[in-house]
Amino acid sequence: MQRRTFIKNSTIAAAGLMYQPSMAFREDPLLGQGNKRYRLDTKWSHADVARNPVNDCHEMVQDSKGRIILLTNETKNNVLIYDKTGKLLTTWGSEYPGAHGLTLFNENGTEVLFICDNNRHQVIKTTLEGRVLLVLDYPKETGEYTKAEEYVPTETAITANGDIYVADGYGKDFIIRYDSKGRYISHFGGRGNEPKHLLNAHGVCVDNRDPLRTCLVVTSRQQNAFKRYTFEGVYIDTIPLPGAWVCRPVIKGDYLYAAVLQSNSNLWKQSGFITILDKNFKVVSNLGGSEPTYVDHKLDEMYQTIKYFDYPHDVCVDDEENLYVAQWNSGKVYPYKLSPVI
């Protein structure tokens, strides 16, 4: 065990030598392992920075028309809508200074967006054109909050019946459940020392991959883990992701994709990467990160190996399995695109 720890620590230290400008941004680098390898394009976006700037690029989704929708907290244009080639089609929004979470939901044939705004302490439901349909204020009905400032929502997930789950990822780490009309139902999670508790509940999604075991997957970012719950909020289990400050889980097909904001071994030094898990929650590839290694069914600590990403914050997977990566606090860069290599 001591030898394994020494080798792992030595490898992490060696990885630090790779944070060199000369190593960064090679032309069309190939990232990842196994059958989940991708070609990186850092110049995907054709937006004009003078006319359509971004600040933090927080999250992205794809609508039924194939368009890629980006949310940024730059109030000159909170929402940027692209085609898959990176051509900017349209923009809207100037009222979301804390724009953070972006979820797309098909509501009886009509697609809608749910925006979490950190500064406004609200969740706002809109049309794809930006018309406001519903506003959820801070959840005083829970009895856990005395003022709006205690509530800082980061993500939503919507079930088939329209129930809304809000992750208070920068507030008190509760998951708050509402019905489709925005009426409070219940809450769970929060901070504490039991497995059911959360620390930095940054993301939440619905996992329908096993029809017999549908559930919620919730990020507990500072614990380097995802946690699973029933729709009633009953804790199921924890998926440990050693070393990885994971952001929201994104499920496409059989796989779960997540941006890793940073590596535990190199905190607050632009040490992010992208991780991909299979339907059994086994890590199969790390883009810009260490090859996933399991010893006695336990995952070794993961870390950035080469600096193609700074602080990746979200992954969008399109209908052709391309990935788009939005980054936080990374020099106001537009999203990158990664194309799968067969």
CATH, residue 118: 2.120.10.30
Mean pLDDT value across residues 194-219: 97
Please tell me the distance from the alpha carbon of residue 271 to that of residue 251, in angstroms, as a whole number. Answer: 23
Q: Does residue 130 carry a pLDDT above 90?
A: yes
CB atoms within 10 A of CB 147: 9
Percent of the chain with pLDDT over 70: 92
Q: Can you read off the two tokens belonging to residue 279?
A: 């339907």
- Structural domains of the chain, count: 1
Mean pLDDT value across residues 6-16: 41
Confidence (pLDDT) at 108: 95
Consecutive H or E run containing 215: strand 215-220
CA distances from 314 to 27, 134, 233, 259 (A): 23, 24, 24, 5
Answer with the residue of higher pLDDT: 298 or 342.
298
Q: Does residue 4 carry a pLDDT above 70?
A: no
Please tell me the distance from the alpha carbon of residue 17 to that of residue 13, in angstroms, as a whole number. Answer: 7
In this prediction the pTM is: 0.93
Distance of CA 308 to the CA centre of its chain: 18
What's phi and psi for 304, nearest 5 deg?
Answer: -70, 135
Mean pLDDT value across residues 140-147: 98
Please tell me the distance from the alpha carbon of residue 191 to that of residue 196, in angstroms, as a whole number. Answer: 9
Domain range for 278: 2-340
Mean pLDDT value across residues 52-79: 98
Q: Does residue 310 carry a pLDDT above 90?
A: yes
**Given pLDDT bands bounded at 50, 70 and 90, which one contains residue 28?**
confident
Answer with the residue of higher pLDDT: 16 or 248.
248
Please tell me the distance from the alpha carbon of residue 224 to that of residue 216, in angstroms, as a whole number. Answer: 17
Q: Does residue 14 carry a pLDDT above 70?
A: no
Q: Are 89 and 63 in contact (CB under 8 A)?
A: no
Confidence (pLDDT) at 11: 43
